[in-house]
Amino acid sequence: MIAAAFYHFATLPDFADKRAPLLALCEQHNVYGTVLLAAEGVNGTIAGEPGGVRAVLQFLRSDPRLASLEHKESPAARQPFHRMKVRLKREIVTLGVPELDPASQAGTYVEPSDWNALIADPDVVLVDTRNDYEVAIGTFPGALNPATQTFREFPEWLEQHPELRGKKVAMFCTGGIRCEKSTALLRSRGFDAVYHLKGGILKYLETVPAEENRWQGECFVFDERVSVGHGLAPGSHTLCRSCRHPLSAEDRASPLFEEGVSCARCHHTLDDERRAALAERQRQSVLAEQRGQRHVGARVATSRQH
């Protein structure tokens, strides 16, 4: 079984027409996951047997506008999803600036092999376009942290930093989609020299030799691994099942941490009813694991965008 993550910006005014045939094909091949369709393109993560996943990707690429769609593929020991969803959206990654056209406005791609040289340039301003909880567990040294809780906050952050105008700006994110859209935002606001890391942090960690790796910490990912390090080796973080924030070993040592129930960040926000429900879900998850089964409550689920 394999999992495939992909996105592609393209002008798709007829995107709604793709939903039914795409969903039918996924169901035919027992492929599960989520695919978002919008007028600006497609974004998704799916999993299934290799032939089924590749049939879905081939179907998408059969549209000339999506012919150059790239995907990241990884083995999956078991099906990480419980259903197949194809959703129609206003945006495939929500920034809240509908007039953008990333397919034509995005900045200059920089290959991972060339990234170190770019960010070593003292005239380059490095910006991490991810959310604060992601930046907290790892980033490139010297990168600006917009301290956003959602990607929608990024345009406001940009407006609050007019000093960036006229400078070279290099941007990065987990897999490429957010920095591709944010570079389009900067170019639409009059920035000329805007660059972004092709394939995102994940491609950098996968391909850049260890001795040249400038990444510090781990990289948050939107699946059951929670975080990865160099070479995409599994990281040390786990996920709080209540607030969905990544937890380090230090976080898990807090007296306010309770496996499957809460962490120090969200402990004070839970009422007795919610705490009891989470505790019961954790109990059922442990019992299922002891029986060699998989409980839905154990699944890493998040609506955050990558």
Look-up of token digits 């005014």: 13
CB of 1 within 8 A of CB of 76? yes
- 3-state SS class at 41: strand
Beta strands 216-217 and 138-139 are antiparallel
Strands (E), 91-147: 108-110, 124-128, 138-139
Is 173 annotated as catalytic?
Answer: yes
Distance CA 67, CA 58 (A): 9
Give the active site residue among 26, 173, 179, 240. Answer: 173
Distance CA 257, CA 130 (A): 25
CB of 37 within 8 A of CB of 89? yes
Tokens of 159: 């407006």
Distance CA 14, CA 10 (A): 11
Distance CA 272, CA 270 (A): 7
Distance CA 22, CA 141 (A): 42
Supply the residues annotated as catalytic.
173
